[in-house]
Amino acid sequence: MTQALRAEELTSQPGSVVRSAPSHGAQRNKRGRRLGPAPRIPYTLAIGPALLLALWALSSWAGWLDARVLSKPWIVAVTTHDLLAAGRLQAHLVTSAQRAFLGLSLGISVGTLLALFSGLTRIGEVLMDGPVQIKRAIPTLALIPLLILWFGIGEPMKVLTIALSAMIPVYMHTHAGLRAIDTRYVELAETVHLTRWEFVRKVALPGALPGFLMGVRFAVTAAWLSLVVVEQINATSGVGYMMSLARSYGQTEVILVGLVVYGLFGLVTDTSVRLLERRALTWRRTLSS
Amino acid sequence: MASHALELTRTPSTAVRVHGLVREHGSRRVLDNVDLEIQAGEFVALLGQSGSGKSTLLRAIAELDYEVRGSGELHASKNRSVVFQDARLLPWARVIDNVILGVRSPGARALGEAALAEVGLAGRERAWPIELSGGEQQRVALARSLVRAPDLLLADEPFGALDFLTRLRMHELLRELCERHRPAVLLVTHDVDEAIQLADRVLVLVAGRIAVDQQITLPTPRSHRDRQFLEYRELLLGSLGVFPAEARARSIESSQPQRNQP
């Protein structure tokens, strides 16, 4: 008896909750689904990057990596510190974040409005769906020459490019979400005599919300991509400008700082959209939760 | 429209009046000159094999049959609600919001809570539909119908997707609710026992026509072992194309399982 107890103490991890476990069911639940994904490993997202970082540090320290190819990680850290101390990094960062935020907001708003217009009315579908599909077929970045001719090389061109590329995924997924609403719910709405507006508010919009949020996630990715491109052509400020300047001077460590900043931008926005998704879609139970 | 209102005021005790109703899917005549009257407060069960047109008739009365060709006279109480085979709850709305969907009166919330309490789901107002069992979801659907205080309840195989035990409990609940609120009911089902158990009157639809119109005069609570219950069942099964002798043989077989052969 005491031996069995000790064995259990040994196998159970410190900090993990060990129930007195008379009920087999409570323990079995921990195992999770047989055909679903296995239980989560803590810090799943952090382990891979940490290993890569360790590998990078090791190869720099051992001298396997030429500093012109990839700077030493501690040099990058020092450079980051210097750039922050001089206030240059913050200035570039604010400019870039502003462009991205403006472009993204504009793109998401316009994309949503167009999707609602074309998803909820036949007239809207006739007027909007074709043009948007054509726009989708043309890569936004290919429009840059035209946008430069129209708006010059200033901020409006940059914000518009980002907005145009963010608009498409929001439109596509929101529109698909609206179209995919089950006709059974439409029938239900009719039997309880919902007005058109009530139907839009209580059935169509919440039904299309998962699609909209997925569109926003794609839009965020698209916006960062466009930001990188517009900041490397004809820019005089922003993280991308800082990086292309560093390229001309051969400062690999500054380029790396820029990459880390872009990465953090992407990570923060994606996480916030995912949090938003979790808050807004609590009614769904999926395999990933 | 005016004559319709006039007729309804002349006979206020009629919840449904159908005359010469024809409905066609493609070239197939699904309903063939159906005449039907349902009085206020009357519980009518509609039996039929699959494809006999019983859902078509219900959907016609519910005015859900767009793009179906047809003709005939149809008057049904405007204050009606429908219960579908699937509970058809909006997954993104909490239980209470599903119940009061489309109810615009100021005390809607309180009404919804009362209706939920009536179907035995008090305290589950804030739950999401996905958190409920199939039987509970169907009870929410019943509450959603109740809260509108309908004169006419149209139910299209509402218990078809439920397991046997849950179905028995739902029968009990539905009969209680109907006795309390007295709507006229049209219950479409393929379960003969369910029909006899619940209804005042059972109709059998065969090839788009009402072949049997049988009043059920059994005291409640109704027992499957009642002699008259068995007679009704034999009659109804017969009209559905199941031969009475065969039915009897089958019921004896099922009541004496696993007897060894001599």
pLDDT of the residue at A150: 94
**Average pLDDT, whole number, for chain A?**
85
What is residue B251's predicted lDDT score, i.e. its pLDDT?
57
Select from B134, B149, B164 the last residue of a domain.
B149
Rounded Cα–Cα distance for residues B186 and B199 (Å):
9
pLDDT at residue B153 above 60?
Answer: yes
Number of residues in chain B: 262
Q: Is the pLDDT reported for residue B12 higher than 80?
A: no
In a domain, B261, yes or no: no
Between B68 and B100, whose confidence is greater? B100
First to last CA, chain B: 71
Strands of B69-76's sheet, edge to edge? B28-39, B14-25, B69-76
Domain boundaries, chain A: 73-280
Contact list in A for residue B84 (CB cut-off 8 A) is 184, 188
Separation of first and last alpha carbons in chain A: 38
Query: What CATH number is given for A73-280 in this structure?
Result: 1.10.3720.10
Residue corresponding to tokens 């010469």:
B20
Q: Is residue B262 part of a domain?
A: no
Over residues B134-142, mean pLDDT: 93
**List of residues 6+ apart from A33 with CB closer than 8 A:** A287
Taking only the tens place, the pLDDT of each residue in A139-165 is 888 999 999 999 988 899 999 999 999
The amino acid present at A29, given as its one-letter code, is: N
Nearest to A108 by CA among A269, A232, A235: A269
- Residue A234's pLDDT band, with cuts at 50, 70 and 90, is confident
State the pLDDT at residue A40. Answer: 81
Q: Specify whether B56 is located in the same domain as B99.
A: no
**Chain B interface test: which of A178, A184, A188 (most B C-beta within 10 Å):** A188
Tokens 């508010």 found at: A201
| Parent domain of B173 | 2-79+150-255
Last residue of a domain, one of B124, B149, B174: B149
Q: How many Å lie between the alpha carbon of A162 and the closest alpha carbon of chain B?
A: 32
Q: Are B52 and B6 contained in the same domain?
A: yes
Question: Which of B149, B183, B206 delimits the end of a domain?
Answer: B149
pLDDT band at B219 (very low <50, low <70, confident <90, very high): confident
What's residue B254's pLDDT? 55
Taking the Cβ of residue A183 and every Cβ of chain B, the question of whether any pair is shorter than 8 Å is answered with: no
Residues B129 and B30 in one domain: no
Radius of gyration of chain A (CA): 26
Question: Which of B68, B101, B146 should we substitute to test contact with A (largest number of A Cβ atoms within 10 Å)?
Answer: B101
Q: Are residues B157 and B200 in the same domain?
A: yes
Q: Does pLDDT of B182 surpass 80?
A: yes
In chain B, whose CA is at the least distance from the CA of A181?
A: B90
Helices A130-137 and A155-179: crossing angle, nearest 10°?
120
pLDDT digits (tens, 9 = 90+) for A6-54: 444 444 444 444 444 444 444 555 566 778 787 788 888 889 989 999 9
Nearest CA in chain A to B92: A283
Indicate whether B139 and B174 sit together in one domain: no
Rounded to whole angstroms, the Cα distance separating B261 from A85 reads 97
Banded pLDDT at B36 (limits 50, 70, 90):
very high
pLDDT tens by residue, B248-260: 555 555 555 444 4
B104 and B157 assigned to the same domain? no
Share of chain A above pLDDT 70, in %: 87
CA distance A170 to chain B (A): 21
- Are residues B131 and B154 both part of a single domain? no
**Total-model pTM:** 0.76
- Shared-domain flag, residues B178 and B205: yes
Please count the other Cβ atoms lying within 10 Å of the Cβ belonging to residue A52: 10
User: Nearest C-alpha of chain B: how many angstroms from A209?
Assistant: 10
Q: Strand B152-156 relative to strand B43-47: parallel, antiparallel, unpaired?
A: unpaired
Give the strand pairing for B184-188 and B201-206: unpaired
Does the distance separating the beta carbons of A190 and B84 come in below 8 Å? no
- Comparing B49 with A104, the larger pLDDT belongs to A104
CATH number at residue B233: 3.40.50.300
Q: What is the ipTM of this complex?
A: 0.82
**Cα A220 from Cα A258, distance rounded (Å):** 18
A206 to B92: CB separation less than 8 angstroms, yes or no: yes
Count of the separate structural domains present in chain B:
2
The residue ranking higher by pLDDT, B258 or B31, is B31
Lowest mean per-residue pLDDT among A11-20, A247-256, B15-24, B155-164: A11-20
A209 in contact with chain B, both atoms CB, cutoff 8 A: yes
Do B136 and B229 have their domain in common?
Answer: no
Which of A192, A282, A285 has the CB atom closest to B102's CB atom? A192
d(CA A221, CA A166): 8
* Residue B39 sits in the same domain as residue B67: yes
Residues B214 and B240 occupy one common structural domain: yes
Q: Tell whether the torsion through CA atoms of B55, B61, B65 and B71 is positive or negative.
A: positive
B161 in contact with A at a CB cutoff of 8 Å?
Answer: no
Kindly report, residue by residue over A182-232, the tens digit of the pLDDT: 999 999 999 999 999 999 999 999 999 999 999 999 999 999 999 999 988
Candidate from B88, B130, B144 with C-beta closest to A285: B130
* CA-angle at B91, arms to B85 and B92, nearest 5°: 150
Are residue B99 and residue B28 in the same domain, yes or no?
no
Q: What is the rounded CA–CA span in Å between residue B161 and residue A185?
A: 18
Q: Is residue B156 part of a domain?
A: yes
Question: What's the pLDDT at A42?
Answer: 84
Which tokens hold the place of B65?
């049959």
CB contact under 8 A, A192 and B91: no
* Mean residue pLDDT across chain B: 85
